[in-house]
Structure 1
Amino acid sequence: MTINGFELLDTTTAPAASAEMLEGVKKAWGFVPNLNRVLAISPAALEAYSTLWGIAEKTSFTPQERNIAYLAIIYENECTYCMAGHTNLSKMAKVADADIYAIREGRALKDTKLEALRSFAAKVTRSRGLVSDADVAAFKAAGYTNQSMLDILVLAATKLISNYTNHLADTPLDGFMKGVEWTAPGHLKAVA
């Protein structure tokens, strides 16, 4: 049981529509992450997240770029669960450790193109898409396009579901996240 009464469901306790999706996750990953187990109470939420995750793989970004953008979005949303998980997923995608840990610490990246991506994804998330003309120009000057801007939104939408779910449920970390736990900077506060 997590905060707010969310349970970590499995194929025997989840609604039937979710149980089927959890089976698919287990086949793909070899286990069912706690995020998916929390989402399973709502077949619609689990399907939305799973579908967006698959669509995100089709964006114009390389796996490394996609993970850098994800980390930047996660940093802005201060999701401790996703930061731990995406630290390891980023390593699997061959993102340099120096880049991963720079983002986890809120620092700029040395590579100018990747920094433009990190910065733009962070600004889109922080400002809810209300970026300046200068932000757009800097992103495009680094070699990105209008398609890239919209692809950032696909990644942000994917992380909105997971990051916000983890905030609501305080989803416990999975075993594979041991050693890469993260403390959020604490800029976000609950609204009373």
Structure 2
Amino acid sequence: MTTNAFKLHDIENAPKASADILNGVQQAWGFIPNLHRVLAESPAALEAYATLWGIAEKTSFSPVERNIAYLSIIYENECTYCMAGHTNLSRMAKVDDASIEAIREGKPLADPKLEALRRFAALVTRNRGVLSEADVDAFKAAGYTNQSVLDVLVLEATKLISNYTNHLAHTPLDSFMAGAEWTAPGKLGVAG
């Protein structure tokens, strides 16, 4: 049980539609992350997250770029669960440690193109998609396109489900996140 009485479901006690998705997650990852276990309460929420996660892999971004954007979104949303998880997932995707640490600390990246992506994803999150033409132009001037602009929204939607779920449920960290714990800057006044 989590804060606000959210249950951590497993395959045996989840609603049938969620159990099928959890089974797929178990097969793909070798375990079921606590986020998925919380989302299983709502088969629609779990399916939405799992579907968006798969669609995000089809965006125009490389695995490194995708993780840079995810970390940037997570930083703005102050999700401690996702920051811990995506820190390790980013390492697995070969994101350099200096970039991961910079984002975790709210600092710019050394690589100009990746910095443009970090900044754009952060602005979209912070400003709920309301950006100036200059902000969009700066992103595209770094080598991105209108497709990239829209692909950032796919990543935003994916993280909206996970970040907000974790805030509401205070999802406990998974064991694979050990050593990647993170304290949010506290600008949003959230604890999870």
- Taking structure 2 as the reference length, what is the TM-score of the superposition? 0.98
Q: Tell me the amino acid that sits aligned with residue 106 of structure 2.
A: G
Which residue of the partner structure matches residue 48 of structure 2? 48
Alignment partners' CA distance in 2, 1:46 and 1:170: 17
| Alignment coverage as a number of residue pairs | 190
**Structure 2 counterpart of 1:123, one-letter code:** L
Q: Distance in 1 between matches of 2:152 and 2:188?
A: 21
What secondary structure is seen at the aligned counterpart in 2 of 1:129? Answer: coil
Aligned partner letter, 1:19: A
Q: Could you tell me which amino acid in structure 2 is paired with residue 179 of structure 1?
A: G
Residue 58 of structure 1 aligns to a residue whose secondary structure is coil
Report deviation, 1:189: 2.8
The residue type equivalent to 1:38 in the other structure is V
Cα separation, 1, equivalents of 2:76 and 2:85: 16
- Measured against aligned partners, the alpha-carbon deviations of 1:24-57 in whole angstroms (never above 9, x if no partner) come to 0000000000000000000000000000000000
Amino acid in structure 2 at the alignment position of 1:81? Y
Q: Does 1:144 align with 2:144?
A: yes
Runs of 4 or more consecutive aligned structure 1 residues displaced over 4 Å after TM superposition:
none
Deviation at 1:134, TM superposition (A): 1.1
Residue 180 of structure 1, CA deviation: 0.5
Q: Distance in 1 between matches of 2:11 and 2:26?
A: 10
Does residue 89 of the first structure (1) align with residue 89 of the second (2)? yes
- What runs of 5+ residues in structure 2 fail to find an aligned partner? none
Q: Distance in 2 between matches of 1:189 and 1:177?
A: 23
Residue aligning to 1:185: 185
Report 1:153-164 matches (<5 A): 153-164=153-164
Higher mean displacement: 181-190 or 3-12? 181-190
Q: Tell me the secondary structure at the aligned position of residue 188 of structure 2.
A: coil
For the residue of structure 1 that corresponds to 2:95, the secondary structure is coil
Q: C-alpha distance in 2, partners of 1:111/1:12?
A: 46
Structure 1: which amino acid aligns with 2:63? P
TM-score by length of 1: 0.98
Percent identical among aligned pairs is 76
1:133: how far off? 1.1
Q: Offset at 1:96?
A: 0.3
Q: Structure 1: give runs of 5+ residues left out of the alignment.
A: none
